[in-house]
Amino acid sequence: GAVVSQHPSWVICKSGTSVKIECRSLDFQATTMFWYRQFPKQSLMLMATSNEGSKATYEQGVEKDKFLINHASLTLSTLTVTSAHPEDSSFYICSAPARGNTEAFFGQGTRLTVV
């Protein structure tokens, strides 16, 4: 199947700093990528849809100025958590649909801890 690579796998940062998470489609082009957030012992919640060459679409309640999404190429989308706070600590996962496939392919996830 198609491969989606997410980096880093885990990161610890201080409050007030920014953290960038990368999501790459390794063997296919992805005009769309999805960013999810997962709180401990909870399900995945869609944060935003990343669109190559245009602005991301954010779900209700997600601060677009805090969670900056850039989809600069057909194989890379980035999520930047700006001015991170401890409540931003979570597991972030990206996914991308591959043309011709009906299932989405997921990155490995990024465990963000803000101290």
Partner 1 sequence: AQSVAQPEDQVNVAEGNPLTVKCTYSVSGNPYLFWYVQYPNRGLQFLLKYITGDNLVKGSYGFEAEFNKSQTSFHLKKPSALVSDSALYFCAVSPSGNTPLVFGKGTRLSVIA
Work out whether 95 is an interface residue with partner 1 (CB under 8 A).
yes
Sole binder of partner 1 in the list 19, 56, 93, 114 (CB under 8 A): 93
Query: How many Å apart are CA 82 and CA 2, to the nearest integer?
Result: 30
Query: Among 58, 76, 111, 113, which residue sits at the site for partner 1 (rule: CB under 8 A)?
Result: 111
**Contact flag: residue 91 with partner 1 (CB under 8 A):** yes
| Residue 77 near partner 1 by CB under 8 A | no
Give CA–CA dist 34/1, Å, rounded. 18
Q: At 27, which amino acid appears?
A: D
Short-list 51, 48, 47, CA closest to 30: 51
- Of positions 11, 20, 32, 62, contacts partner 1 by CB under 8 A: 32
**Rama region for 96: left / alpha / beta (φ>0; ψ in -120 to 50; rest):** beta
Residues found near partner 1 in the complex (CB under 8 A): 1, 4, 6, 9-10, 32, 34, 42-46, 49, 91, 93, 95, 97, 101-109, 111
